[in-house]
Amino acid sequence: MLFQPVNKNYHEFCIDRDPDLCINCKVCVRQCSYQAHYFDEARQKVMHDNTKCIGCHRCEALCPTAALNIRNKPSDFRANKLWRPVFLQNIYKQADTGGVLLAGMGSPVDIPVYWDRMLLDASQVTNPSIDPLREPMELKTFLGAKPRQLKIETDKNGKSTLKTKLSPQIELDVPIMFAAMSFGAINFNLHQAMARAATEMGTVYNTGEGGLHKSLYKYGKNTIVQVASGRFGVHLDYLKAGVGIEIKVGQGAKPGIGGHLPGEKINNMVSETRMVPIGSDAISPAPHHDIYSIEDLLQLIFALKEASEYKVPVAVKIAAVHNVAAIASGIVRAGADIVTIDGMRGGTGAAPAMIRDNVGIPIELALAQVDQRLRDEGIRNQASIVAAGGIRCSADVVKAIALGADAVYIGTATLIAVGCTICGRCYTGKCPWGIATNDPKLSKRQNPDIAAKKLSNLLRAWGHEIEEMLGGMGLNSIESLRGNRDKLRGVGLSDTELDILGIKHAGR
């Protein structure tokens, strides 16, 4: 008897096809990279296989007659608070495969989203609000170490001269950057789109750990280059190509482990950029094998500063974990100009599901503690703080800056802007929207001109909303909001949570 895995019957989605609207045009067949739709020659009609549907909604979006509807499968297991359906399905899968469960994008677990538990202040009578349409608003941000004080000398003719030597800075017209997503994990069209959008909007994008393709060096003034444990694509010209260098120690979606780009994604361009053979797996070790202490990190920081002739700031990216404040303090004392903190909801192309959903802490708690620790130690001016991992809208940006961030990274929001529906199958290389794939046919679905325009529109819209919120608080610059937690109030939070965030409860 032919055995069928029991897990095959427990798929997540159902495809509803309206027979009165479907014209058998085969658009869904061509668009589905998972072969959930197919043309039945015997019946001469388009059919579908629900077990292959991943819920990306591309067929539904492109159906010319709106004949398709993708929905969650209504059938479910017997209710059990301990053994929720996801655990049953995971065990069935692993019993069939004997493998590690992989997942893409950020963690979907039901842990409080603290952005939604914080509310912003607004001016009323005694502190009038500001109309951003009629009065100037300043969103410009500088990332890098700042002097504790400025020394200025004035000569007998009244001419003033700055005597304090300033550290190199990254200048941002908006406090939002495109997060690190490596070339290979996403395709060249998206990297080009991020570079062009960052240039247009006066911000930067991060190359991620896959290096920088030579055709994108012209966007260097809007690029942060990343150095990760695998050292893919790292060479002297690369280190000098951008306006900043970031050492990736950890990632919010998978703290404590490395990365793995399958050989199927290593095509000619990725091979050339990452400096690995075509078709070979690109493995990033869990640790940097030259970093086993803060002193080792200090050596790498200054080696990179030396290589870049001390012309650009050096950042260190860590995952938001327990004791993150103490770790950040050590990083600043080791000479980092920027500390990037990536929360547990940060996205990824691939991570073990158990690690993604159970390791790390939310960015809101980590950010507040790092900012306070650096202030308490009197070293906050020595480094900027960048928050990442779960930034969904302009209000999240404003709240992050009020908690102490100088700027934020957006990764998942960047991908959503160009069509991503968070189906979470990035690791398969079959992204139906042409994002997390290097398949030539699928990659063409992302037009870099259109994608760049969408990303520019997103930052422009968020910038306008940030100005409106600042004006409503009676502030005319983002600098006045940074670390100003008195502009935040908590709702439905415990005393411990309020204490960690450093904010008062609403009504106080």
Mark the binding-site residues, compressed into ranges: 22, 25, 28, 32, 53, 56, 59, 63
Single out the residue of 348, 358, 385, 422 nearest to residue 186, CA to CA: 348
Side chain identity, residue 2: L
Single out the residue of 177, 179, 145, 141 nearest to residue 406, CA to CA: 141
User: Are 204 and 244 a contacting pair, CB within 8 Å?
Assistant: yes
CA–CA separation, 430 and 442 (whole Å): 8
CA–CA separation, 203 and 3 (whole Å): 56
User: Are 419 and 435 a contacting pair, CB within 8 Å?
Assistant: yes
| 182 three-class SS | coil
| 59 three-class SS | helix
| Cα angle for residues 259, 260, 265 (degrees, 5° grid) | 135
- Which parts are annotated binding residues for [4Fe-4S] cluster? 22, 25, 28, 32, 53, 56, 59, 63
Pairs from 213-221 (Cβ < 8 Å, separation ≥ 24): 213/183, 213/188, 213/269, 213/272, 213/273, 214/272, 214/273, 216/191, 216/192, 217/241, 219/195
What one-character-per-residue DSSP string does 365-399 give? HHHHHHHHHHHHTT-GGG-EEEEES---SHHHHHH
| The two three-digit tokens of residue 236, written as one number | 């002297």
Eight-class DSSP state of 409 = E
Give the phi and the psi of residue 356 in degrees, each rounded to 5: -55, -40
315 strand-pairing partners: 246, 338
